[in-house]
A and B are shown apart, each in its own frame.
Chain A
């Protein structure tokens, strides 16, 4: 039996934004990574970001005039008709769902495509999708990747090549409708996880709508002048994190979970990172956003890498925050690290303080920083002397957090600003799907079940 040619289209849906909030395109690394894997396998693959569109779509008008939606949010992106036109010649449509606040538009796009094209194979993935399987299957998805998808998407394509009504039952790390109104789950095995990240194909950044991202200039973090082109891209030098905080999905990504143990900290080689930087520079990228969850998770390796990328010819910002502990040595600023960050081209760094209370940090944030021992004033002053723009993030509303504890966190932020911090972001603790906090909330416990035992 001959195999069918299969075309894959990876779709970022339009973005819905609360009035008054900043609309930023998704542009996550999921698609460069998946497209790179598919292309290495000889698959015809394209990427379409419905938030920014492609040639012929009115980019500036879409961002200047977002469309009010019945739910009170504003929609930025191309029309439904345009989405259906773009996906028309694809056999498989992938829609990533990493960010929970994008779920509504992901499911809406799935229903739209399913109704117009019943024969197309719809695939999703990402921590939000795998944590909300019944919703995704009900919306029309044929398969949900449960873990890092570079290998799984290739196996899905092979199944579709064999048959337009594919059988996913032999693929590990995937969930799909069981044909009886339920969801069949093929768990991820430890051997399905890519332990040597250098084995992953080079991400296909060239398929992203880079000129449109650069024109709109709204990366995930940092501040940049509106209307000024920003030639940026994102990359990761490591996956996973050595910390397991209750509000983070990584804490749930362990052995025996749906995703398998992808929360384990894994790194790319220095050579691989340099090759990725070269690829980005070849595309005209001038600003690189490091999306690692813990860039200095192995501090010696991190320092070595920073020295290797000196002179790479790009500026670098850290998006997800560098663990503050890694910027300290015996609770004082670690000038070896700060110097290396500056020399490597870092210009903007986020500092995830999370809370001003040791009790909260110990209970919910892996005890990752002793806020009472750390000399944060000296750290902030030192970071400003090195020329970094620095932002602090602070969380409030942990389940059993008192008003006095919140006030302590706010006072900490005031102190940080007075010492030179450029800006403070305040986030309300939300039990995001995939995190231990979400499981507690769904179980009906508003505080961790261990709380009564540890008092």
Chain B
């Protein structure tokens, strides 16, 4: 189970910054084909 959200307080790098870093890193570092495969599986409300 992937953890996307930060939930500790008092970390040296604040939670919101961590979440932005995580999201940005995933998009920046991974290849397009991998990202497209993941997006194809994403749950979206219809």
Contact = CB atoms under 8 A, between A and B. Distances in A.
Interface of A: 17-23, 63-68, 74, 76, 99-102, 218, 223, 226, 396-403, 406, 410, 413-414, 417, 422-431, 441, 446-447
Contacts of B43: 17-23, 63, 66, 74, 76
Contacts of A403: 12-13, 17
A425 B34 CA distance: 11
A400 B12 CA distance: 6
A396 to B, nearest CB: 6
Interface residues of B, number: 34
A400 B11 CA distance: 6
Given A64-B46, A74-B43, 11 more contacts: A19-B45, A22-B41, A66-B43, A99-B1, A101-B1, A396-B18, A402-B13, A410-B25, A426-B26, A430-B7, A447-B10
A410 B40 CA distance: 25
A65 B19 contact: no
Given A21-B2, A427-B3, A428-B19, A399 B10 contact: yes
A226 B41 contact: yes
Q: Which 9 A-B pairs have the closest CB atoms?
A: A446-B10, A22-B41, A23-B43, A397-B18, A423-B34, A17-B43, A65-B46, A428-B6, A426-B22
B28 to A, nearest CB: 8
A20 B9 CA distance: 25
Contacts of A400: 11-12
A22 B39 CA distance: 8
Contact of B11 (A22, A399, A414): A399
A425 B26 CA distance: 7
Interface of B: 1-13, 15, 17-19, 21-22, 25-26, 29-31, 34, 37-38, 40-46
Given A397-B11, A402-B13, A446-B11, A19 B44 contact: yes
Nearest to B44: A19
9 contacts: A18-B43, A22-B43, A23-B41, A67-B45, A223-B34, A426-B25, A429-B8, A431-B8, A446-B11
B30 A428 contact: no
Contacts of B25: 410, 413, 424, 426
Nearest to B5: A428
Contacts of B40: 226
A423 B34 CA distance: 7
Contact of B22 (A74, A396, A417, A431): A396
A401 B42 contact: no
Nearest to B46: A65
B9, B22, B26, B34, most chain A CB atoms within 10 A:
B22
Given A396-B18, A410-B29, A68 B45 contact: yes
A428 B44 contact: no
A209 B4 CA distance: 29
Contacts of A22: 38, 41-43
A406 B3 contact: no
Contact of A417 (B30, B37, B42, B46): B30
A295 B38 CA distance: 27
Given A401-B13, A429-B8, A423 B31 contact: yes
A428 B10 contact: no
Nearest to A430: B3
A429 B42 CA distance: 22
B3 A428 contact: yes
A21 B4 contact: yes
Given A223-B34, A396-B18, A66 B13 contact: no
Nearest to A415: B29
Contacts of A102: 1
Contacts of A399: 8, 10-12
Contacts of B1: 99-102
A421 to B, nearest CB: 9
Contact of A20 (B7, B8, B19, B42): B42
A428 B22 contact: yes
A446 B8 contact: yes
A428 B45 contact: no
